[in-house]
């Protein structure tokens, strides 16, 4: 086992470094607190209490405030209810909600 671990560490140290072409960063800013939010779904994760495997995460771009809720499965009505209860009712109607629709 030690030999295997030592060989992997050595390979990792001397492995070629991948060089991705650099891109210009594009900052996302907001003009006032809680006007712009980013939303993502994280998961599936290992099942927790009540078989909850997904996180719905909303991040405010101005204050970096985060709202998170765990779900067993996520449906469109869950997202709608989350936005209503955790964003609109608490902070007002946002100007923009950004979702990347990623996998």
Going from the N-terminus, what domains does the chain have, and what CATH number goes with each?
34-99 (3.30.420.10)
- List pLDDT tens digits, range 62-103: 888 899 999 988 888 999 999 999 999 998 999 888 887 765
Q: What is the pLDDT of residue 22?
A: 74
Task: Give the separation between CA 24 and CA 26, rounded to whole angstroms.
Answer: 6
pLDDT tens digits for range 11-44: 555 656 666 667 777 776 667 778 888 899 888 8
Tell me the pairing of strands 36-42 and 96-99: parallel
């Amino acid at each position: 086992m030690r030999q295997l671990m030592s060989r992997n560490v050595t390979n990792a140290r001397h492995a070629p470094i991948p060089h991705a072409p650099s891109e210009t960063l594009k900052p996302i800013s907001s003009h006032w607190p809680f006007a712009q939010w980013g939303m993502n779904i994280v998961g599936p994760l290992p099942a927790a209490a009540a078989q909850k495997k997904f996180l719905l995460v909303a991040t405010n771009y101005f204050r970096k405030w985060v709202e998170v809720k765990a779900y067993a499965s996520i449906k469109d009505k869950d997202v709608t209810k989350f936005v209503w209860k955790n964003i609109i009712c608490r902070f007002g109607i946002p100007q923009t909600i950004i979702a990347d629709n990623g996998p």
